[in-house]
């Protein structure tokens, strides 16, 4: 039995991971579950999977939760509780906390697990080198769950020198909208993604292609591929997740229906391959399309890649700004186009500094949040 800990159990990735475990209870034991505040969903998960350890990071919700827990379950709460929770030992841990909030638990937990199935991308794009250094030191395996990066991980196992890679992008919910229509877009429209069901922030990031920019940076951080050899291509169907091109121009593509359980299952069952989703049905006619991406249509894609390739503090600041402005947009306080405006403004006003430690990452994250709030105060 493999002991599994899930950080961010109540989110989209966390629920998918538990779905896989539900069908493989003889292989995986859910040792511990952690969430921020969603105690209603957590309660159901605890009743079903009987973890020995549970953590609720939000102190207010934690207070309501501790009385409903069964005897024998050890409960951790608040920030100090989360810190303690991170030193629980596991065979595999799924890191599915969203945002930069994942960084601290991820770094703290690396010495205590053999493998991390890493869904979170914000920690990698801001503090990737510190995470990979620590994982190397403690010989902890990090397997990417983000589907495009996971596809590349699988593809790199085949022999041959990879010259360049292609990441596919569905184009998000607004791809076919005209500019004036995009200007009046509501949160509900942005949140109806054509192919994937995901958390709210990543769904908005898919519409601006900030998410794809992050994945370009993830690809660089995970595999050391130069930015000039990482290409983005629009592929509306989300069946091809990534492609590798070899020196003779042969391309290998990784294909499966858009369902995150496949890359999560890959990271859980690795190095074995087990079925987690229905495969592609070739008995029915279907077609796949590819088209070039336009930086004019998606200026934030270019900006994020630029910030990533500068390898300084700017991407940390952009990530912080993006999280806050998306929150404002989803609450109806600013228009969709403010996301682009704020990110360009913040990029231009941010002085460039190298990040020498994780505390530098936090420092610039805080700076980015502060400046973004100032800019938003003027806008609202």
Asked if 293 contacts 287 with a C-beta cutoff of 8 angstroms, the reply is no
96 binds, among Mg ion, ligand NDP, none (CB under 5 to 8 A by kind): ligand NDP
Nearest CA to 210 out of 51, 318, 115, 314 is that of 318
* Count of residues of this chain found to bind ligand NDP when the rule CB under 6 A is applied: 27
98 binds, among ligand NDP, Mg ion, none (CB under 5 to 8 A by kind): ligand NDP
**Binding letters toward ligand NDP, positions 240-269, x by CB under 6 A:** --------------------x---------
Q: Is 160 helix (H, G, I), strand (E, B) or coil?
A: coil
For residue 183, CA distances in Å to 8, 186, 236, 267, 324 come to 33, 9, 22, 39, 19
294-305 burial: b if 16+ Cβ within 10 Å, else e: eeeebebbbbbb
Q: Which of 5, 88, 119, 317 binds ligand NDP (CB under 6 A)?
A: 119
Residues 87-106 that bind ligand NDP (CB under 6 A): 96-98, 101
257 binds, among Mg ion, ligand NDP, none (CB under 5 to 8 A by kind): none
* Residue whose beta carbon is closest to Mg ion: 146
Min separation Cβ 375 and Mg ion, Å: 28
| Residue indicated by tokens 């209870």 | 25
Q: Which of 146, 245, 323, 365 binds Mg ion (CB under 5 A)?
A: 146
For residue 345, CA distances in Å to 303, 350, 355, 375 come to 11, 9, 21, 9
Min separation Cβ 319 and ligand NDP, Å: 10
Q: Which stretch binds ligand NDP (CB under 6 A): 10-18, 44-52, 218-226, 327-335?
A: 10-18
Min separation Cβ 26 and ligand NDP, Å: 26
Q: Which stretch binds ligand NDP (CB under 6 A): 30-38, 286-294, 301-309, 314-322?
A: 30-38
Residue 14, token pair as written in the block: 């966390």
- What is the DSSP code string of 19-35? HHHHTTTTTEEEEEEEE
Chain contacts with Mg ion (rule: CB under 5 A): 146-148
């Amino acid at each position: 039995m493999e002991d599994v800990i899930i950080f961010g159990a109540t989110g989209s990735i966390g629920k998918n991971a538990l779905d896989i475990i539900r069908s493989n209870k003889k292989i995986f034991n859910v040792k511990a579950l952690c969430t921020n505040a969603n105690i209603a969903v957590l309660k159901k998960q605890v009743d079903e999977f009987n973890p020995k350890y549970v953590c609720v990071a939000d102190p207010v919700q934690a207070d309501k939760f501790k009385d409903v827990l069964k005897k024998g379950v050890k409960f951790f709460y608040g920030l100090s509780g989360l810190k303690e929770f991170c030193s629980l030992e596991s065979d595999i841990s799924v890191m599915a906390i969203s945002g930069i909030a994942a960084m601290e638990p991820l770094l703290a937990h690396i010495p205590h697990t053999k493998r991390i199935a890493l869904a979170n991308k914000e920690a990698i794009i801001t503090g990737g080198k510190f995470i990979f250094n620590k994982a190397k030191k403690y010989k902890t395996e990090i397997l990417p769950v983000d589907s495009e990066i996971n596809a590349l991980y699988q593809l790199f196992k085949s022999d041959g020198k990879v010259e360049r890679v292609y990441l596919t992008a569905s184009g998000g919910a607004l791809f076919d909208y005209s500019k004036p229509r995009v200007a009046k877009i509501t949160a509900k429209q942005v949140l109806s993604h054509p192919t994937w069901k995901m958390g709210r922030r990543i769904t908005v990031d898919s519409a601006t292609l900030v998410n794809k920019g992050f994945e370009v940076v993830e690809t660089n951080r995970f595999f050391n591929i130069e930015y000039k050899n990482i290409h983005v291509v629009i592929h509306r169907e989300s069946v091809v997740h990534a492609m590798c091109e070899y020196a003779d121009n042969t391309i290998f593509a990784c294909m499966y229906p858009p369902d995150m359980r496949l890359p999560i299952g890959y990271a859980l069952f690795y190095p074995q391959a087990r079925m987690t989703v229905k495969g592609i049905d070739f008995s029915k006619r279907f077609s796949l399309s590819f088209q070039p991406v336009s930086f004019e249509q998606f200026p934030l894609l270019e900006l994020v890649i630029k910030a990533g390739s500068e390898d300084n503090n700017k991407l940390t600041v952009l990530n912080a700004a993006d999280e806050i402005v998306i929150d404002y947009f989803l609450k109806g306080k600013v228009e969709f186009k403010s996301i682009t405006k704020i990110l360009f403004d913040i990029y231009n006003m941010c002085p460039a500094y190298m990040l020498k430690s994780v505390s530098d990452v936090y420092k610039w994250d805080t700076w980015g949040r502060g400046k973004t709030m100032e800019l938003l105060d003027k806008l609202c």
